[in-house]
Structure 1
Amino acid sequence: MRVGLDVGGTKTDAVAVDAAGHIAGRVRLATGWGPDGVAQTVLDAVAALRRAHIGEAAVASVGVGMPGQVGPGTTRVMHAVNLGVADLDLAAAVSARLGAPVGVENDVKAAAIGAYALRAGRSETMAYLNLGTGIAAGIVRDGRLWRGAHGTAGEVGHISVDPQGPRCRCGQLGCIEALSGGASIAKRWGRPAPLPVLDMLDAADAGNADAQRLRAGLVEGVAAAVRILVLTCDVDVVVLGGGLTALGDRLLSGVVRQLAASAEASAFMRSLALADRVELLPRGSAAAAFGAALVGAARAEQGPDGAAGITAHDTKETVAHG
């Protein structure tokens, strides 16, 4: 079994992947806080998978995707502020207790690897655009993650597309993340609600002018990210993932309309067929945890430098319970 964990700010999604590339089990649990809490969450998730799904089957590797910076080829996580982690070598903290090698990757990059694998070869080059608290992308070409010269390839969230737009937490005005990030929308909406973005969309449908402006910014920001990823990397497809994709067609249809409308005045932009090159990750997909399992497998197979050579072809085409 290859275990993969998507460690988020509030919850952790964990899967066990068998030798045939099928998801043999899946559990979710709350994420602990701070370095010790995160390490314990990893241990608890593997134990929960054993109890519920895999019993005494050998765990060949464990892969973990989590927010923050992860040095290529290392298991050291830095600046994972939403988890209370400033600097943590996760493998050093848990590998001996798990009895298995541990690989670690940034959560968006892990999700990109998983989304590519789950699409079963339907594209040569894919961008995974994560729409959540913040905005970022991972790019996979021919099954291999593309990091760029300094590991920042895909960081589209902090590209300013509206100099008169809202202030981003990075300090710029009108960044894609300031327009479309869940945290920014919730702050600007300012109305208490369990799901602020959904509340905003409901209010927009009811005719609230402030909500309609926020909704327009949301779809314009996502559409801008799609245009940037296609124009700079010429990816076959941009797959939308992350928490905001729970909005389903209410999000995707608006983005598609915006892409189509912005291409009306340009024959060149129309030739790119942008509206046909964007799709939504299925709701509840295990792509992030599945990709993390591939990270762990690469670590186990290639040794300490395995994470630098992660490929999404390390799995079968069929995923049983994704």
Structure 2
Amino acid sequence: MRLGVDIGGTKTAAVVLGDDGEVLTTATAPSGRGAVDVVAQATRIARLAMAEVGGPGAITAAGACIPGLVDPAAGTVRHAVNLEVEHLDLARDLGAALGLVVSVENDVKSAALGAHHLSGLGAARTLAYLNLGTGLAAAVVHAGEVVRGVDGVAGEIGHLPFGGDVVCACGQTGCLETTASGTALLRMWPEAAAHDWDLVGAAARGDSAAVLAAASLCGGVALAVQVLVLASGAQSVVMSGGLTAMGEPLLEAIRAELRIRAASSPFLGSLALAERVSFLPAGVPVAAIGAARLTTPEVETATGGAAWRS
């Protein structure tokens, strides 16, 4: 059995996967703050999950993921600002607390591994994962492994300048993240919370600010999908993150934008981008599942993948 721990900005989740990749048990709680408390909370939650399957002795592999600048080889993380962590040797400290060897990865890259596992695409196929949250982040899994690139920046399409005059948090102007992210949505449509984040519904009811925000957001996400497919050749683009809680209406609006683009370009039409995109079901601990698969990745069949048991 494999243990996966996802240390997020607000909560930490732990899962245990069985031999067949099925999620056997989960545990969640608020994340700690500061290096010591982050490790202590992750340890407590991991132990709760392991207790359901017989304790640490039943675990054959363990992994953990966390936001920030992660060095998988060293097992360290830097600048996890939402967790108030400047530097943490996560592999060493969490491993010592659990009595296990722990592999470490960035949270988005780990989520991409989890999405690939759940997709059933098989190790030989390529999947792109797009996180639509406060910012915009992506990762690509090919042949069962995350594509990292130099310094692990592969997939950072949120900071691809595409136009506009909005200054991004990275210091550039007109990054893709400035139109396709939760931060961008709140800037364009400050009333989002008052409308329960029903952007598509508000646009359909004639809210002029929502109409403009929906067009910008869906256009930005459609461009992100196009970039990912063209750059990686991904057969599937799976999305998760806070904005995907808007559900099917947002997904269909993104697909409609992709179809509009395809209608004017035989080249784009041949890629069938609208049919490649999907949202992960709400509540699936995809990053923790990916963390559990950080070590000794298995080669799956084209119809393989994990079963999700709620």
TM-score normalised to structure 1 length = 0.87
| Residue ranges of structure 1 left out of the alignment (5+ in a row) | 299-310
Letter in 2 for 1:139: V
Partner of 2:151: 150
Q: Which moved more, 1:138-147 or 1:179-188?
A: 179-188
Partner deviation per Cα, 1:188-245 (whole Å, 9 max, x = no partner)? 433483887x154454343221122111111111100001011122211111122221
Letter in 1 for 2:63: G
Partner of 1:97: 97
User: Superposition RMSD on alpha carbons, in Å?
Assistant: 2.3
| Residue ranges of structure 2 left out of the alignment (5+ in a row) | none
Indicate conservation of the 8 Å contact 1:114/1:312, yes or no.
Answer: no
Indicate conservation of the 8 Å contact 2:188/2:209, yes or no.
Answer: no
1:1-322 equivalences under 5 Å are 1-51=1-51, 53-56=52-55, 58=57, 59-121=59-121, 124-161=125-162, 163-191=163-191, 193=193, 198=197, 200-295=199-294, 297-298=295-296, 311=297, 313=299, 317-321=305-309
Letter in 2 for 1:17: L
Indicate conservation of the 8 Å contact 2:72/2:104, yes or no.
Answer: no
* Counterpart-to-counterpart distance in 2, 1:192 and 1:179: 15
**Residue 150 of structure 1: how far off its partner (Å):** 3.0
Partner deviation per Cα, 1:161-201 (whole Å, 9 max, x = no partner)? 2x2253321233332211121123224433483887x1544
Indicate conservation of the 8 Å contact 1:22/1:320, yes or no.
Answer: yes
* Counterpart-to-counterpart distance in 2, 1:275 and 1:200: 20
Q: Which moved more, 1:181-190 or 1:104-113?
A: 181-190
* Counterpart-to-counterpart distance in 1, 2:4 and 2:258: 35
TM-score normalised to structure 2 length = 0.91
Cα 1:318–1:189 change in 2 (3 A) is: closer
Letter in 2 for 1:66: I
Letter in 2 for 1:313: V
Counting matched residue pairs gives: 306
Partner deviation per Cα, 1:117-144 (whole Å, 9 max, x = no partner)? 1112357111011111111111111212
Letter in 2 for 1:321: R
Indicate conservation of the 8 Å contact 1:223/1:255, yes or no.
Answer: yes
Letter in 1 for 2:176: I
